[in-house]
Structures are given as C-alpha cells and as structure tokens.
Structure 1
Amino acid sequence: MTSVALPPPVRKARRRNAALGLLAWLTGIAFALPVLWMLLTSLHSEPDAATNPPKLAAALTLDGYREFFGAGGGPSPWPSLANSTTASVCSTLLVLILALPAAYALSIRPVRKWTDVLFFFLSTKMLPVVAGLLPIYLFAKNTGFLDNVWLLVLLYTSMNLPIAVWMMQSFLREVPAEIIEAAQIDGARLPTILARVVAPVAGPGIAATALICFIFSWNEMLFARVLTGIVAQTAPVFLTGFITSQGLFLAQVCAASVVISLPVLAAGFAAQDKLVQGLSLGAVK
C-alpha cells in the first residue's frame, strides 16, 4: 500500500501539537522533580541526606518518618495536624456559607455598581499581611484569644472570603436565570433556592473555591507562627521546629513536609475533575 502524503498544513499542525505536548511533559516533570526529590530525601538517613552532592543510591530508611511521629522521644505531630484540620475545614465551610449569598447578590441578582463592590472585595487582598499583624496580635492579646485555634478560623475566613466571593460570582453567572424563576414561581424562598437550585448547578465552581480556600488555610504560617504557641500550633509551624540551633535535620524536615503535604495533595487529587471543571466554567461560550 502506498502512503498518502499529508497536506503541509496538517503536517505543520501535527509538528506543533507534538512540540506543545513535549513542552507540557517537560513542564510537568520540572514541577514534579522537587516533590520527588523531597520524597527521596525523606527516605534517607540524616548522614546520607546531608551529603553534597547527595547520594541517589543511598540506602532507604523510614527513620525520618519515625522521628517525625515522635518515636525518638520528640513531640507528637498529631495535635498540630488536628489544629490545621480544624482551622482549614471550619474556615472553608464558613467561607462557603458567607460567599454563596454574596456571590448570588452580585451575579444573579446584581446590585448597583456591582463591579465596584467586587473591586473593593479584591482590594482587601492587596494589603500586605504583615501590615495587619501587630493590630491583630494586640487584639488577640487583649481579648485572651492568643494560642486559640478559633482565632485562626476567623482570620482564615476573613482572608479567604474576598477571593471566594470573586470566584463564585463568576461561577454563579453561568446559572440559568430561568430555573431560579421557576423555583420562585413554585414558592421557594432564597435559602431553598441557594441550597437546592444554585448550589447543585454551580457545584464544580463551589468545589474549586472550597479547595483553593482549604489550600490557602492549610499552608498559612505567618499568623499561625505569631498568634499560636503550643495549644493551637498548626502543622506548618510544627514543621519549623526541626530547624534548631543544633542544625538542620534534612531527612526529618523532608519527611515532615511529605506528611503535611499529603492532605492537600489528596484533596486536590480527589477533586481534580471538579477543580478543572470549575476553573474553566464559562471560559467557552
């Protein structure tokens, strides 16, 4: 059989697609290499992890993970992990409860000058975090909220609420107005409309917003470092405890980083379809 020569535009398009595919693979590998390196270092002993250049073929061990979980007599990470879970999950739920009605008012039932309102919401994220650290510390000290995980819940809620309203407003704009009008004709009130009509339709966007707020809350360290001590210490703050005056325990730090990163990675992997669908909602008309 004789092969049919492809037209020049088709060959050019295939070469371009192959080049873009190769670039995507190289970019993905470049982003994955630091994570894989951290995982490999966490499985080495401290002497092997501290060598320069590092030993790729060094013996593997779980000593770093045993030390992280307190097998060597160190502090247990479970209270810090529980505090991070409480602060992240509770603040994310509060953000969703508050952001959904606000986004509904700015998209489906827009208020006057709604673009100015959205810009005001987003402008609150432009303030450097460190600029508000001292007033918040003084407030927490005078009200007895220092080293309290519920203070972190309130802070993370207020920090993530503007970006959540901004994101969900664009998602809710894709909800057909006809189904809302049909629900109103049937006598549904606003809470019922939000819970049974708007939320299911905008589910991917809500899931994407929740995941991003959860990641921001889980990774936050500045406020947690200053406003907490032992009782409300979060996982990122606990991680910094492995950097001491005695030196940097690299294998233990990498093991702790892997464990602390697992909840975020697991949540992202579980909701990846909703995240992609939510972030691309309304991108194609």
Structure 2
Amino acid sequence: MSATAVRPATTGTTTQRPRTRRKAGAGLGLVAWLAGIVFFLPIAWMALTSFHSESDAATNPPSFAASLTLDGYREFFGAGGGASPWPALINSAVASIASTLFVLVLALPAAYALSIRPVKKWTDVLFFFLSTKMLPVVAGLLPIYLFAKNTGMLDNIWLLVILYTSMNLPIAVWMMQSFLAEVPVAIIEAARVDGAKLPTILARVVAPIALPGIAATSLICFIFSWNELLFARVLTGVVAETAPVFLTGFITSQGLFLAKVCAASLVISLPVLAAGFAAQDKLVQGLSLGAVK
C-alpha cells in the first residue's frame, strides 16, 4: 500500500485575511491623513493670512486670491515704528532653555533613584510629584506674586526660570522614570564594578542609552516653558517680557490687526516647530520607548 501525502484543505478565509488586513491598514492610513490635514488647515490659514494686507485679511469669507505682501512681518519687527520683538524673543529663549537644562539636571538623578535604584515606596513619591500638578495655577499666583514683590524679583527673567523649572520638574521625572526603567541594570553594575561613581554612570552610561527619552522630555519642557503666559503676564513688565506676553500687546482698543497677529504668531511658533523638527527622530523613539518588548 503506497503512502499518499495528505494535503491540508485550504479555504478562502486564509487568502482573504491578508487582503482584509491591507484594507484595514489603508483605511487607518486614510483616517490618519485626514486628521493630519484637519489639524494642519488652521496653521496653513494663519500662514496665508500673515502674507495678506489688513484689508484683505479682514474680509469674510477670506480672500484666498488676494495679493501677497510682507507688511505684517515688517510691522511685527518694528518697521512701522512699533516695539521690537527681539527682547521678548530673547527672554523666552533664555527662560525656556535655562529651565529645561535645570529640569534635566534635577530629573535625571530623581528618575534614576525611582527606576534603576528604587527607593522605598517609590510609587508614593511619583504620586506626590503628580499631585503637585493638581493645584490650579491661578491659586498659586497671588502667593508667588507677593513673594516676588517682597524679594524684589518682579520683572526678573530668572524668576520665570525658577518657576518653569518647578512646574516642569514633576512631568520630567514621570517621563524619565519610565524611560530609565528600560536601561539594562547589568550595564550599570558592570560600570560600578569598574569603579565608576554615580555622576559618571549618569553621564556616560545612563544618559547615552536614554537619549531618546531625554530628548522627548526636554522638547516637551521647552514647549511648555515657551508657551506659558499667565505667570509671564503677571510677574513681568518691560525688562523680562516674553514672546507670548508681547503677542498679547497686538490686541488694542483700536481693534485686532489680523494680518500682523498671524505674522507674529507664526514667527513666535517657529522656534518650537524648529526644535520639534530637529528632534523628531529622537522624539518618536523616546515616546515609543518601552512600548514594544
């Protein structure tokens, strides 16, 4: 009796599954593109309006075929006799960059202690950090204002640096704790056996491995600091005025000059967009770190 190979029966479902998955992936891709276009349209409209004259920008519905001009940008940079935006932009850069650096210096050892070398009841510590963000910002505005007034720190850019550091530190510790939890402990133990001290381990072992997470954390802290308005509006005047506060000065009793406001908004948004574009690969790696085992 000759042996005959038994061929498993095939059904149409096995061949239809890849097609179904491809159709589902194409559908999700289409939805993602549509969502991206919807979120991009206001930015595109703002950019187009910034190149229109005030009369064309004020038309309703907007005139997309109107002539283009750079008058809005000239007036924003003080060509029409207005205030120069450069001091406000420099103040925002100093406050955002300095506070972000301070946050990283403080958050990295804290995240190391809560992930790689966990302290007792480290979950309670994380909850305490998170609870500091539950206080409404307005509730702490008056005490901070009185403290700044009594210490002579009103209209001082370093007061904003201290505030932005304290505001972003809990978020940074939370984010970096999850990133540092993915660092192999064996590498740290090997460095410790070789005689490396804690600062050396943090700078030369932990930081390079967790660089995507550090980049994501720093970018988010930079964005939060750059866009902060309430404290900067109340605690600063002329010397330490930041870019968002300078932007509010375009809303006057004479009305809203739409083209100039759109030009100012686009210029003030460029540093954040440039930072996000420069760190986009590290940002994606950092936000997805630990998502796939």
| Same topology, TM > 0.5 | yes
Provide the rounded CA distance (Å) in 2 between the counterparts of 1:7 and 1:223: 61
Provide the rounded CA distance (Å) in 2 between the counterparts of 1:10 and 1:100: 45
Query: Which one of 268, 275, 282 corresponds to residue 274 of structure 1?
Result: 282
The residue aligned with 1:17 is 25
The residue aligned with 1:194 is 202
1:36 to 2:44 alignment: yes
Provide the rounded CA distance (Å) in 1 between the counterparts of 2:57 and 2:248: 18
The residue aligned with 2:7 is none
Q: Which runs of 5+ in 1 are unaligned?
A: none
The residue aligned with 1:62 is 70
Provide the rounded CA distance (Å) in 2 between the counterparts of 1:13 and 1:213: 38
* Cα drift, residue 10 of structure 1: 2.1
Provide the rounded CA distance (Å) in 1 between the counterparts of 2:277 and 2:172: 21
The residue aligned with 1:140 is 148
1:231 to 2:239 alignment: yes
The residue aligned with 1:203 is 211
Provide the rounded CA distance (Å) in 2 between the counterparts of 1:18 and 1:202: 33
1:19-168 correspondence runs (5 A): 19-168=27-176
TM score, norm. by length of structure 2 = 0.95
TM score, norm. by length of structure 1 = 0.97
Provide the rounded CA distance (Å) in 2 between the counterparts of 1:111 and 1:8: 53
The residue aligned with 2:9 is none
Query: Which one of 224, 238, 244 corresponds to residue 216 of structure 1?
Result: 224
* Cα drift, residue 273 of structure 1: 0.5
* Cα drift, residue 51 of structure 1: 0.7
Query: Over aligned residue pairs, what C-alpha RMSD do you find?
Result: 0.9
Provide the rounded CA distance (Å) in 2 between the counterparts of 1:44 and 1:108: 55
**CA offsets 1:188-238 (integer angstroms, 9 cap, x no match):** 100000000000000000000000000000000000000000100000000
**CA offsets 1:84-143 (integer angstroms, 9 cap, x no match):** 000000000000000000000000000011011001101111111011000000000010
Provide the rounded CA distance (Å) in 2 between the counterparts of 1:202 and 1:19: 34
Count of equivalent residues: 281
For the residue of structure 1 that corresponds to 2:289, the secondary structure is: coil
For the residue of structure 1 that corresponds to 2:79, the secondary structure is: coil
* Cα drift, residue 11 of structure 1: 2.1
* Cα drift, residue 252 of structure 1: 0.5
Query: Which one of 252, 255, 259 corresponds to residue 260 of structure 2?
Result: 252
Provide the rounded CA distance (Å) in 2 between the counterparts of 1:88 and 1:139: 22
The residue aligned with 1:263 is 271
**CA offsets 1:36-68 (integer angstroms, 9 cap, x no match):** 000000000000001111101100000000000
**CA offsets 1:115-174 (integer angstroms, 9 cap, x no match):** 110011011111110110000000000100000000000000000000000000000001
Provide the rounded CA distance (Å) in 2 between the counterparts of 1:56 and 1:75: 30
Provide the rounded CA distance (Å) in 1 between the counterparts of 2:21 and 2:209: 37
Identity of aligned residues (%): 82
For the residue of structure 2 that corresponds to 1:125, the secondary structure is: coil
1:180 to 2:161 alignment: no
Q: Which runs of 5+ in 2 are unaligned?
A: 1-11
Q: Which amino acid aligns with 1:235?
A: A
* Cα drift, residue 15 of structure 1: 1.5
Provide the rounded CA distance (Å) in 2 between the counterparts of 1:128 and 1:33: 32
* Cα drift, residue 18 of structure 1: 1.3
Provide the rounded CA distance (Å) in 2 between the counterparts of 1:41 and 1:197: 49
